[in-house]
Chain A
Amino acid sequence: AQSVTQLGSHVSVSEGALVLLRCNYSSSVPPYLFWYVQYPNQGLQLLLKYTSAATLVKGINGFEAEFKKSETSFHLTKPSAHMSDAAEYFCAVSDRRGSQGNLIFGKGTKLSVKP
């Protein structure tokens, strides 16, 4: 069975600092992995996805994530935080290969950005 663990329910960084949000997964099949962002009172917006192509995935808003099979990790990074990055971030794994797979989400990490 697939599962996702996000380390740290709350991360706080200063504006301009590195953002690192951690995600480890468990999957019985080669995984498809995703990061979504959720702003208050809104739905989920896809930041980036890994679907077995390049292991370093670049997404929107300057975010990127690296798939590391040996570590079963898919950590999200951004070199320089902006105030507008403050939101909740969810890592997700698909429960099966193919475009009809369903998403299994972690519990989320709330990112705060201090001026």
Chain B
Amino acid sequence: ETGVTQSPTHLIKTRGQQVTLRCSSQSGHNTVSWYQQALGQGPQFIFQYYREEENGRGNFPPRFSGLQFPNYSSELNVNALELDDSALYLCASSLAQGSYGYTFGSGTRLTVV
């Protein structure tokens, strides 16, 4: 059973650019959530995808968008990057039904300069 994998592990972008982060969910999991973890803070919920549809969104602006694919993998896109977008971005997968539990990936460290 594979866990959640995220790519890339590290990324440096310039303010104003766009970035795409990728996540492969754990085998059998059909729900993917994205979290932003700023330095010294707890993770904050960005949004969740279930069956390729957005299924909940946190307090993040529309320049944060996502996709989920038929194989349940997912992308997080951020447009018009700002310095405050520098953070660890975590992907978590889960089953929509059944026992409650998320499996987190190791994250993508994004630095905006």
Name A residues whose Cβ lies closer than 8 Å to a Cβ of B.
Answer: 4, 32, 36, 41-46, 49, 51, 90, 92, 94-95, 98-108
Inside 8 A of A46's CB, which chain B residues have their CB? 101-103
Inside 8 A of A45's CB, which chain B residues have their CB? 104
Contact A43 B48 (CB under 8 A): no
> How many A-B residue pairs lie within 8 Å, measured between CB atoms?
65
Decide yes or no whether B41 CB sits under 8 A from chain A: yes
Inside 8 A of A103's CB, which chain B residues have their CB? 33, 35, 43, 45, 102
Decide yes or no whether B71 CB sits under 8 A from chain A: no
Known contacts A90-B42, A105-B43, A107-B42: A100-B48 contact under CB 8 Å:
yes
Q: Which of the residues B40, B90, B95, B101 comes within 8 Å of A49, measured between beta carbons?
A: B101
Binds A, one of B14-22, B50-58, B61-69, B76-84: B50-58
Q: Which of the residues B56, B101, B104 comes within 8 Å of A43, measured between beta carbons?
A: B104
Inside 8 A of B2's CB, which chain A residues have their CB? none
Q: Mark contacts of B26-48 with chain A using CB atoms, 8 A cut-off: 1 yes-contact digit, 0 otherwise.
A: 00000101010000111111001
Cβ-closest chain B residue relative to A46: B101
Contact A51 B42 (CB under 8 A): no
Known contacts A32-B100, A42-B106: A99-B94 contact under CB 8 Å:
yes
